[in-house]
Amino acid sequence: MSRQETLIVFIRNPEKGKVKTRLASVAGDEAALRIYSFLLKKTRSAALEVACNRLLCYSDYIPVADEWPDTGFLKMLQSPGDLGQRMASAFREAFASGAKKAVIIGSDCPDLDAALIRNAFGALDSADFVVGPACDGGYYLLGMKHFVPELFEGIAWSTASVAEDTLRLIRSLGMNYTLLPRLSDIDEYEDWIGYVNSNPDTGKESVYTGIQK
């Protein structure tokens, strides 16, 4: 895979009480942090298995040292603004640094693996964009081969219409896209329980799955 392909990874700094707040409202802050740490591990593993440039974008600060190796990731802070503005800024940085294809992912989708990321880059050989729709109406992956800022304008972020509104925008621009399989993000406690029930080996990761009393 060409080093002109850049994978952008958006993460939150893993701090108790600041991650997975909807999940934490049921399971508690400690469980939410453990679950988010598990999701980060899955995301990190998938990213490192893809031969590309990797841009890791933290929500609040860049740690002096953490589990994301400096040799594997160029690290930066997410820009100010809403989600769309932050993603647009990251894509702009990737293309300004020489990328010919750029794909962005978050850290909420445990079923997103290296093969899907590779497929996303491959899809950009024939499509202008690639989109991985999430079951909640958002998307877990977005890729493009040239920076199109309009794709991040006029979107009601964190709503059930994000993916469809984005696809509508692409069509309105006269461009085409490839869709990846629909996958589930982990946002609510029910999402996590559904994932654990479908992946019983997750319990071996020593991740707390009980509800805080």
Render pLDDT for 166-198 as a digit per residue (tens, 0 to 9). Answer: 999 999 999 999 999 999 999 999 999 999 999
- Three-state secondary-structure class, residue 52: coil
Domains in the chain, ordered, with CATH?
5-202 (3.90.550.10)
Integer angstrom CA distances of residue 178 from 23, 124, 127, 174: 31, 8, 6, 14
In percent, how much of the chain has pLDDT > 70? 94
Render pLDDT for 40-63 as a digit per residue (tens, 0 to 9). Answer: 999 999 999 999 999 999 999 999
Predicted TM-score of the model (pTM): 0.94
The residue assigned the tokens 């995301």 is 43
In the prediction, which pLDDT does 213 show? 37
